[in-house]
């Protein structure tokens, strides 16, 4: 070992050990280079892990497109498990809306998608129902609907604030009731606008519960229901694309995490 250290010192042109005492001790240069050596050893282990992933045919990269309807509190624990099981897989999480999710999966830009159930899903896509998410009708406390016994025709007369998607399709209009609509690409911003009395909206329960605007919102008294509109949440994938170990694990984990109105 001493010969190897001496050869290393010669190659580096530095003294790594102070040999003036009874027991050799690291020099300042030696202490600094020891830290670098540990980093190199760590990266060696990482390199071996990546190579092993290739040998096991594990994907190098995975993209998941998840609609905001999916409760975000479930995602942290799920992806912590994923990181532990697949430490060398690069992961990209996208949060598009509705039909934009299925378009990404269809075009090969996402491996897995989570979205609300579409009336017409492209035949190339497979799907599995994960559960139901309640959408709640809300308006601000000082909105004209707040203190009224609202019928369907009255609802149509007030501006509705709806989730916007980048692609044009039938899903964009599915929950439209009002003649006048604002389109917004974020459930969280929708609640800000609703709080200002700009209009009413249908928003997932979990988004409302986690919003600082919740105390300023109410659900109008409706003549035709209780203000709850549950929608099915589904996981989708492309039938004709290979499903590697990481994607398979993720699909199974999403399927095992059942989502319902009480989640």
The CATH number linked to 240 is: 3.40.190.10
Q: Note the pLDDT of residue 89.
A: 92
As given in the structure block, the two tokens for residue 243 are 């499903």
Q: Note the pLDDT of residue 262.
A: 46
State whether 123 and 241 are in the same domain.
yes
Domain encompassing residue 14: 2-55
261 within a domain of the structure (yes/no): no
Highest mean predicted confidence (pLDDT) among 10-19, 36-45, 85-94, 147-156: 85-94
Who has greater pLDDT, 147 or 66?
Answer: 66
Instruction: Report the C-alpha gap between 120 and 106 in whole angstroms.
Output: 13
263 within a domain of the structure (yes/no): no
State whether 93 and 150 are in the same domain.
no
- Residue ranges in the chain assigned as alpha helix (H): 2-12, 28-55, 73-85, 99-106, 152-156, 187-195, 205-209, 245-256
Q: What is the CATH number of the domain that holds 214?
A: 3.40.190.290
The total of structural domains in the chain comes to: 3
State whether 179 and 223 are in the same domain.
yes
- pTM higher than 0.75 for the full model? no
DSSP state of 180: S
Give 216's pLDDT tier (boundaries 50, 70, 90). Answer: very high
């Amino acid at each position: 070992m001493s010969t190897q250290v001496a050869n290393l010192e010669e190659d580096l042109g530095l003294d790594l050990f102070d040999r003036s005492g009874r027991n050799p001790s690291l020099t300042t240069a030696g202490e600094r280079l020891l830290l670098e050596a540990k980093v190199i050893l760590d990266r060696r282990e990482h390199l071996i892990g990546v190579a092993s992933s290739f040998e096991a045919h594990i994907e190098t990269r995975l993209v998941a497109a998840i609609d905001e309807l999916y409760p975000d509190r479930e995602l942290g624990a799920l992806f912590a498990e994923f990181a532990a099981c697949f430490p060398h897989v690069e992961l990209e999480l996208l949060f598009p809306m509705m039909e934009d999710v299925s378009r990404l999966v269809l075009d090969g830009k996402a491996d897995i998608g989570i979205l609300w159930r579409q009336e017409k899903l492209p035949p190339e896509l497979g799907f599995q129902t994960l559960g139901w998410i309640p959408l709640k009708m809300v308006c601000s406390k000082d909105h004209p609907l707040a203190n009224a016994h609202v019928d369907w025709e009255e609802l149509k007369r007030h501006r509705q604030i709806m989730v916007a998607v980048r692609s044009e399709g039938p899903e964009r209009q599915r929950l439209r009731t009002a003649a006048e609509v604002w389109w917004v690409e974020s459930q969280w911003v929708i609640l800000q606008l609703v709080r200002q009395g700009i209009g009413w909206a249908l928003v997932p329960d979990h988004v409302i519960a986690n919003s600082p605007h919740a105390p300023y919102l109410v659900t109008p008294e409706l003549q035709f229901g209780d203000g709850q509109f549950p929608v099915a949440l589904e996981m989708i994938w492309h039938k004709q694309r290979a499903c590697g170990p990481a994607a398979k694990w993720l699909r199974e984990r999403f399927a095992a995490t059942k989502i319902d109105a009480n989640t």
